[in-house]
Amino acid sequence: MNNPELYATSPDYCHRLFDMIETDNLMQELENDLHNTISVFSNIPTAKEHFAYSEGKWTISQLLRHIIDCERIYAYRALRFSRFDPTPLHGFDEDFYMDGLSEQRENLTDLIQEFEIVRNATISLFKPMTTKMLTFRGTANKLEFSTLALGFCIIGHNKHHCNVLQERYLQP
């Protein structure tokens, strides 16, 4: 994607995520990514859902849990910013979140369904936003983001992890 304004309204670490996205049509990309992600995770054999490619790495189910958790957090930030809330928001520790689930072995089928529900809620959140709402900038984890940048972060973050899944978990 080539959108200089988007890159200017987000931290540098987001730019590599944006580079994975084909167009600057947020709604189209959210929809496309929804279908792609469901397809990728739906083709995981049940025997591999708790597989980790290396000691100390997340399992495939945990990877999808992480994607869902991050989408919820980014969408919450987008909600706050789209309502012109200037309150700085705290960051989060993804490993801490996963450690809190160490006793839990989630079913991949249930996680796929949850992902679809969360993504549809994200689409519903962004769909009616005005240009003014999308361009509002807020602070999260001491970094500045526009609401629109958060929407594309959701997509790029998801694509990144789907690529990791293909490259590290599913390669023979």
For residue 149, with 0-12 CB atoms within 10 Å meaning exposed, 13-18 middle and 19 or more buried, which class applies?
buried
Kindly report the number of other CB atoms within 10 A of residue 36's CB atom: 14
Whole-angstrom distance, CA of residue 153 vs CA of residue 156: 5
Pinpoint the alpha helices (H) of 57-93. 60-82
What does the pLDDT look like over 33-54, one tens digit per residue? Answer: 999 999 999 999 999 999 999 9
Summarize the confidence of residues 61-85 as an average pLDDT. 97
Average pLDDT over all residues of the chain: 94
**Residue 30, domain CATH:** 1.20.120.450
What does the pLDDT look like over 107-149, one tens digit per residue? Answer: 999 999 999 999 999 999 999 999 999 999 999 999 999 999 9
Confidence band of 2 (pLDDT split at 50, 70, 90): confident
Q: Which residue has the tokens 């495939």?
A: 60
Confidence band of 103 (pLDDT split at 50, 70, 90): low
Whole-angstrom distance, CA of residue 78 vs CA of residue 132: 13
The proportion of the chain whose per-residue pLDDT surpasses 90, expressed as a percent, equals 86
How many domains is the chain partitioned into structurally?
Answer: 1
Whole-angstrom distance, CA of residue 109 vs CA of residue 136: 37
Please tell me the predicted confidence (pLDDT) of residue 149: 98
Angle subtended by helix axes 60-82 and 26-42, to nearest 10: 160
Is the pTM higher than 0.85?
A: yes
The residue range of the domain holding 124 is 4-169
pLDDT greater than 90 at residue 95: no
Phi, psi torsion values for 89, nearest 5 degrees = -105, 145
